Amino acid sequence: MKRILSIILAVAILATTAAVFASCGGNADTSSKTESGEGAKELHMATNAFFEPYEFYEDKKVVGIDPEIAQAICDKLGYKLVIDDMDFDAIIISVTSGKADFGMAGMTVTEDRLKSVDFTDSYATSTQVIIVPEENSKVANAKDLEKASIGVQLGTTGDIYVSDFKEAKIERYKKGADAVLALTKGKVDAVVIDSEPAKKFVEANDGIKILDEPFTEEEYAICLAKDSELTEKINGALKELKEDGTVKKIIDKYIGD
**Which position among 63, 92, 100, 105 is part of the footprint of ligand ARG (CB under 6 A)?**
105
Judged by CB under 6 A, does residue 151 bind ligand ARG?
A: no
Q: Which of residues 186-205 bind ligand ARG (CB under 6 A)?
A: 194
In the list 30, 44, 51, 179, the residue contacting ligand ARG (rule: CB under 6 A) is 51
* Nearest residue (CB) to ligand ARG, 30 versus 47: 47
Separation CA 248–CA 139 (nearest Å): 35
For residue 48, state whether it binds ligand ARG (rule: CB under 6 A): yes
Rounded-to-integer distance, Cα 102 and Cα 118, Å:
10
On whether the CB atoms of residues 4 and 35 are closer than 8 A, the answer is no
CB within 8 A of 80, min separation 6: which ones?
Answer: 34, 36, 40, 41, 42, 43, 74
Candidates 30, 64, 74, 88: give the one binding ligand ARG (CB under 6 A): 88
Instruction: Tally the residues of the chain.
Output: 257
| Binding status of residue 68 toward ligand ARG by CB under 6 A | no
Task: Using CB atoms within 10 Å of the CB of residue 189, give its burial: 0 to 12 exposed, 13 to 18 middle, 19+ buried.
Answer: buried
Residues 6+ apart with CB under 8 A from 39: none
- The answer to whether 94 contacts ligand ARG (rule: CB under 6 A) is no
Q: Which is nearer to ligand ARG, 17 or 110 (CB)?
A: 110
- Asked if residue 132 binds ligand ARG (CB under 6 A), the reply is no
- Residues of this chain that interact with ligand ARG (CB under 6 A) are 47-48, 50-51, 54-55, 88, 105-108, 153, 156-157, 194
